[in-house]
Structure 1
Amino acid sequence: MNRPPHPSQARPHRQRGRFGLGALVALLVLAGGLAMAWWLMSQPPRVERRPAPAPVPPLVEAISVMPRAAAPALHGFGRVVAERESRLASRVAGRLEAFAPGVVPGRVVEAGAPLAHLDDADLGLALREAEAALAQAEAALAMEQGEQQRARAEYQSFGRELPAERRALVLREPQLRSAQADVERARAARDRARLDLARATLTAPWAGMVQARLLGEGSEVGSGTELLHLVDVSRFWVQASLPGEALAWLVPASEEASGSAVTLTSRGWPAGSEREGELLSVLPALEENGLQVQLLVAVEDPLALAEAQRGAPALRLGDVVRLEFQAGEREDLIALPAAALRPGDEVWVLDEEERLRRRPVSVLHRDDHQVLVAEGLETGERVITSPLGQPREGMALRTAASSAERPAGAAPAEPRP
């Protein structure tokens, strides 16, 4: 009789069947996942494409140009020098007794005023000796004239004509000429002694200011020894330098007309103070360092001594001043800010379609603030003053009102769309 299998013997068979089915399901799920992943990876993502937004044109500032009469602003710096100065020297030897009252450095002396006195005792004696010698020579001449009259009377009584040479000897003509020469020599010695005595007092050749005393009282001086340093204060010069192209705008003084006006200022003067000068001449030599032309500016009454200049600041020798030259204007010029000029002497212009156009121009003058253009621009054209990183011919731009075009105190205009 067959017995049924024990439950413990049938359990392994059921477990093996259960494990086989689960592994199959897992493999199916894994394969499905791999297939889905491969499909997803093989299909490119679908993104909705939109048209790119149009680039916004750069915002720039522009000014409208208008030809007019214009002149450059010419300025420079110069040093004050004396137009005329002299170191006065004694023309005779002697002891310096004293300087005249008021002859002090910084004081003004008038033309012909006495400045210093030398001991003139010896010079006075020399004059007396010269006068005595002159009197003696004149007496000898008078005696010789009497002898000549006597000789002429004897010759006429002789009644005979002699040759010219013998007649001159008989009439004592050589002796007369010698006596006359002695008188002239003595008279010249007298005049020289009188002149030396007058030169013992040193006088001012022209009105000026005493710059310095070069010797002290009691010093022994010889002919040519310098005693005083005198400076003419009626006019000073200012020597300045400018680029050579500035000469086309300036006019030096001539006998017929005055030179270009010049305004002088200095840091050492009170605020708002200034003096007026005149362009006197252009020096022939260039400045050594910058190879610029050197100009000479004249300033009348530099120390403001005259009544008309009272209260004006004084120019001092050696001072450095700033000069503003009044240049002559020229018609039909276009003045642009310095930033509007591009490399290669060209400007950028906005056309009617708000696009950039390059324009070469003829420049008459340029400096750090202004450019004067003679040709290349038309009336009413708009010149770009703003910088651009990558400018291109025909590139679109937007404009904003320039501060030069806005009324004073107005707010900036909104950019054009």
Structure 2
Amino acid sequence: MNRPPFSSVARFHRQRGRLGLGPLLALLVLAGGMVLAWWLLSQPPRVERRPAPASAPPLVDAVTVTPRAAAPALHGFGRVVAEREARLASRVAGRLEAFASGVLPGRMVEAGVPLARLDDDDLALVLREAEATLAQAEAALSMERGEQQRAQSEYQSFGRDLPAERRALVLREPQFRSAQAEVERSRAARDRARLDLERATLTAPWRGMVQARLLGEGSEVGSGTELLHLVDVSRFWVQASLPGEALAWLETATADTSGTVVMLSSRSWPAGSVRRGELLSVLPALEENGLQAQLLVAVEDPLALAEENRGSPALRLGDVVRLDFQARERNNLIALPAAALRPGDEVWLLDEDERLRRRSVVVLHRDDHRVLVAEGLTEGERVITSPLGLPGEGMPLRTASPSDSRGIVDTDQAPTGASR
């Protein structure tokens, strides 16, 4: 039996040993990777903790306090009413014959001109009858005067004095007084008839505009029947309402002084058109709805008929206009934007260390745009106008630039800094 050579056997054993070592190394590498992965996963994450950066103080707007003369911007709305109007009525009965030429609604009429005429034939007859009665009474008085003179002569020829009562009867003094009274009665009747005849023609009591003709021509009218509606156009009133505290800033007109100037405007007028008025008086009753004070503003030449007012817009009765009152200024007031006033009449100040300070103030006037402060602030202090979420006494703040604005009187002045 032939055996393989020794070299072949040795080569076989070497290949067999190499094949067994490879898988073992692979298993060892896999096991080591799994152990390493388990160790990495089991370790907690490490976060490097750093101190939080300090937050910047809030950025605010501020204005610098500067006392000066100031007045509130007072405005309201009012309705135009007539200062004087009349419903002209007939004072006698009769038939309305005609209105005078040009007596139409919207037309001007002068004082004393005829406006309407009633049928006056019956009134003329009454006047003639009254004149005849007066003539008869005057004739009777003349006759009685002659009788009294005759009785006086007879009494003197009698040569004897009588008691006063009997002497008055002898001298016909009662008859003479009766005749005189009859003359006076007849003269009064004549004057009344003449006046009624004159009243048959209706005349304008003053210069005005015809608002309406209340009856047609040919109508039968009685005493007191209204014929025309006349409005005085020399001056209109505007009745407006303001809060009661606003009256302290206004002055009403007197016999020697003028009232507060009022500028009137309306949306129906051309842009920029205004009319000038004067505060006339304050009514004693409050407005029913808002319990506000009621004011009367007088406007001269409301229809712009005068030469100096030609081209100005005309006020019409019943129109609603805006009124801007030129209130009287007061010295040493501080005007601030409305946003600067906090609840409870308090303001926030920015001190020299750029920290917030609270301060109570005395407010004279406040509206939607600004407030007027009388006490509580001194010149040069800075008032914060920006809102803050959680304001606290002494909290640090900052402004965009040093506050160099002057005290705000006009609310459209820009404050220092900008809100962000």
| TM bucket, shorter chain | 0.7 to 0.9
Q: Which residue of 1 aligns with 2:165?
A: 165
Q: Which residue of 2 aligns with 1:219?
A: 219
Q: Which residue of 2 aligns with 1:112?
A: 112
Deviations along 1:240-280, one digit per CA (max 9) or x if unpaired, are 00011000000011111010000000001011110000000
Q: Work out the CA distance in 1 between the residues paired with 2:217 and 2:196.
A: 20
Equivalent pair of 1:262/1:325 in contact (CA under 8 Å): yes
Q: How does 1:295-374 map to 2 (within 5 A)?
A: 295-374=295-374
3-state secondary structure, aligned to 2:364 = strand
Q: How does 1:8-407 map to 2 (within 5 A)?
A: 47-400=47-400, 405=405
Closer, same or farther in 2 for the Cα pair 1:349/1:413, shift >3 Å? closer
Q: Work out the CA distance in 1 between the residues paired with 2:199 and 2:404.
A: 70
Closer, same or farther in 2 for the Cα pair 1:113/1:247, shift >3 Å? same
3-state secondary structure, aligned to 1:298 = strand
Equivalent pair of 1:61/1:402 in contact (CA under 8 Å): no
Equivalent pair of 1:283/1:296 in contact (CA under 8 Å): yes
Equivalent pair of 1:62/1:402 in contact (CA under 8 Å): no
Query: 1:73 deviation in Å?
Result: 0.1
Structure 1 segments unaligned to the other structure (5+ residues): 1-21
Q: Which residue identity does 1:191 align to in structure 2? A: D
3-state secondary structure, aligned to 2:61 = strand
Equivalent pair of 2:61/2:418 in contact (CA under 8 Å): no
Q: Find runs of 4+ consecutive structure 1 residues off by over 6 angstroms.
A: 411-416
Query: 1:49 deviation in Å?
Result: 3.0
Closer, same or farther in 2 for the Cα pair 1:412/1:121, shift >3 Å? closer
Q: Work out the CA distance in 2 between the residues paired with 1:49 and 1:96.
A: 108
Query: 1:400 deviation in Å?
Result: 2.4
Q: Work out the CA distance in 1 between the residues paired with 2:415 and 2:198.
A: 81
Closer, same or farther in 2 for the Cα pair 1:39/1:84, shift >3 Å? closer
Deviations along 1:65-108, one digit per CA (max 9) or x if unpaired, are 10000000000000000000010000000110100111010001
Q: Which residue identity does 1:255 align to in structure 2? A: A
Q: Calculate the TM-score normalised by the size of structure 1.
A: 0.87
Q: Which residue identity does 1:188 align to in structure 2? A: A
Deviations along 1:185-236, one digit per CA (max 9) or x if unpaired, are 0000000000000000000011100000000001110000000000000000
Q: Work out the CA distance in 2 between the residues paired with 1:270 and 1:389.
A: 45
Q: Work out the CA distance in 1 between the residues paired with 2:402 and 2:107.
A: 57
Q: Work out the CA distance in 2 between the residues paired with 1:402 and 1:73.
A: 30
Query: 1:45 deviation in Å?
Result: 5.8
Equivalent pair of 2:62/2:383 in contact (CA under 8 Å): yes
Closer, same or farther in 2 for the Cα pair 1:62/1:172, shift >3 Å? same
Structure 2 segments unaligned to the other structure (5+ residues): 1-23, 407-413
Q: Which residue identity does 1:379 align to in structure 2? A: E
Identity within the alignment, %: 80
Closer, same or farther in 2 for the Cα pair 1:404/1:252, shift >3 Å? farther
Equivalent pair of 2:61/2:416 in contact (CA under 8 Å): no
3-state secondary structure, aligned to 1:175 = helix
Equivalent pair of 2:62/2:416 in contact (CA under 8 Å): no
Equivalent pair of 1:401/1:412 in contact (CA under 8 Å): no
Closer, same or farther in 2 for the Cα pair 1:322/1:402, shift >3 Å? farther
Q: Which residue identity does 1:305 align to in structure 2? A: L
Q: How many residues were matched structurally? A: 385
Query: 1:405 deviation in Å?
Result: 4.0
Equivalent pair of 2:65/2:380 in contact (CA under 8 Å): yes
Query: 1:367 deviation in Å?
Result: 0.3
Query: 1:135 deviation in Å?
Result: 0.3
Equivalent pair of 1:349/1:382 in contact (CA under 8 Å): yes
